[in-house]
Structure 1
Amino acid sequence: MTAVDAVRAQRVLLDAELRPATLVLRGGLVLAVEAIDHPVAGEVLDVPDTAYVVPGVVDIHVHVNEPGRTEWEGFATATRAAARGGVTTLVDMPLNSVPPTTTVDHLRTKQRAAAGQMAVDVGFWGGAVPGNLADLEPLWEAGVLGFKCFLSPSGVDEFPPLDPDQLHAALTEVARIGALMVVHAEDAAVLDVAPVRPGRAYADFLHSRPDAAETTAIQRLVDGCRETGARVHVLHLSSARALDVVADAKADGLPLTVETCPHYLCFAAESIPDGAAEFKCCPPIRDSGNRDRLWEGLRAGVIDMVVSDHSPTTPAEKGRGDGDLQQAWGGISGLQVGFAAVAHEARLRGVDLTDVSRWMSRATSDLVGLTTKGRIEVGADADLAVYDPTVALEVDAGRLEHRHPISAYDGLKLDGSVTHTLVRGRLEPDHDWGRQLRRPR
């Protein structure tokens, strides 16, 4: 781990504009933004003229799975992967760990498990499940950044979904305490009547998770947002058919935000091989036309941000059913390569890197109130990523830092890569450097 006193580059992202600068770092913060020829003593990172210095990625949708399912991932491997991919802050989801983060005691258990294992800074979501309505305010006071709920089965028994009445009660409570609800928006009733055909065919799996599951659920969230005044965030939007519903809600001034994920922006259903469980996720990757419309939604501001939804598991769980996509675990491992993959695809589409950074750093940090993250300015944390579009990357899942060598991105050829990551002014941070974050008061 190397402490850096300054970063000097021709292209530094400052106030949504790329310009030459020397960033003077002190005590883990950006002390000053100076001219590029400003003299600085100490350790200076001189960035190649081909590269960009952007705020570290703030990935607010990561499943670390520790404690309880550490064989799926864990804080040590997840945060090491994050640091290698330009992610300087992640927020851990409340499910897939055992116990789930649905009470203050469970939060403390997770925090103890994470201690001394974090190479980047880590915050925590709380969970909203049937029967824990009274736990939401204590969790909020204990520092979680918001609450996650499901409207359909989550895939693990210890984190059940909310029915419509329970959702309304939870939104009412979230509005009362001034918190944020983030929602896996697939409607259980729609999924119950969708055709489920076991087997390896990706097309059959796609039919079992139709667009209507998302559009119906998101309309319910819009209604709940309107009725209760709660801040609501739609997780991992897959279906572009919901964009009109979202746009109308935003036009009405509702406090609704939406994220999508790199795998929805980089892959298309017609290119996914049958039986390739590494591409299985819920909601699913849809067709190329849908992908194009998601990009349009980002450009138009209907979609606010991009997150990884890193959701790894063991080879045994991914291989369950020997390629039967109804049986395999649903989740994509993309924490380390998400930023580079989106930057590559954006470049092909004529989208500026400044937009990619805004979607993956500033918008995400602002959503959860981490106002010293996701930006390069005096007083902000010295969380920085160096991205060089001339340093090609061919993704090899076996060389990624997350626990198991499984990833939908395996074999993908990218034009650029993250070459350096600084977490509060430290290059190659070790596992004692990351901090546990709590909600700013």
Structure 2
Amino acid sequence: MMALHPKVIDLTLDRVWRLLAALGHPERDLPPVIHVAGTNGKGSTQAMIRAGLEARGDRVHAYTSPHLARFHERIRVAGALIDEAALTALLDECWQANDGAPITFFEITTCAAFLAFARIPADWTLLEVGLGGRLDATNVVDRPRLTVITPVSIDHQQFLGETLAEIAGEKAGILKRGVPCIVGPQAEAALEVIERQAARLGAPLLTFGEHWHAREEDSRLVYQDETGLLDLPLPNLPGPHQIHNAGAALAALRALGAGEAACEAAVTRAEWPARMQRLRHGPLVDLAPQAELWLDGGHNPAAGEALAATLARMPRRPTHLVVGMLNTKDIAGYLRPLAAHADSLTAISIPGEANTLPAEATEAAARAAGIAAATAASLREALSGIASAEPGARILICGSLYLAGHVLRENG
């Protein structure tokens, strides 16, 4: 499938429409769809919506990308990850229907997910946009039940545009005529674009700061909208940025008529790996048994700011970063907010990734940001080196979801 199209990313809907037609248009038979776009927080917000819906007994399909350790993570059918036999059969069917025509890997596998979701009964379908929104392969559902746009920031400029307004325009491409949209916190330039598109389509907006509010107060999450106030535990997913992700999920659940029990489950039961995830067991943990080992897959400047804010809230402890990034990312923008919280950085190349930024380039960027830096030939060498120098440190592996996937596989 990877060989069917020369580009990994080529944003258009023509190839998707052709294959969906050959498959009998499964996208028309999906359970009610909640479509989620944004730069940061899409996966966490979707995970919280899913936790809330499942807590009230609903069966939920969910589609997300990229995967971390196994491709199966992308397709969750009625609450469970798709199994090997079902996935193989669906991919074979899509391969046959495509008949060798050009199509990207993401497009054909998205069609496979739609086939699975159309054939197995469920109450909801959660779709996370892969890249952008307007021309993303998930954007083929005429009338979703609800759309969600999490915070928009600068990322993937080579595909989505150089300015925040251009990128927001691509994200706003998921808006549909008359379909309500939950809008998370946005910079003014992004919000103006979203509001303009919504007005054109008559899509009602439920916007952070206007229609709903979420804040931390006395170690609780306080959420308020026109329906009333919710006083909830803090999100299970760590970091102050998760307050606003939780707020968007709660706004979505309230728009769907979910009760307070579902809302509490959304923030207390959601799990989402590689989003400031504490690793407590496994071969990598054994390399630094006295250390506090964390993993985060954020990879753009906004993610660096969120990670820095999370570290600022944690008890003070010597903190050492292990960083590997792609060469398409703004490494200076990512590292800048982290410099105040890192005692050192060990740079590595992402194993098996052609587009990795060389470890030496990451080291140079860290030094430019004011962080003491060195390189290591491998993740294991990096962890062992830090553990030898400072056994009780906090070690944070970060910079890329591709690196995060490697970590999770290595750690079992």
| Common fold by TM > 0.5 | no
Q: Which has the higher contact order (CA 8 A, sep 6+)?
A: 1
More helix by share: 2
TM superposition score normalised by structure 2: 0.29
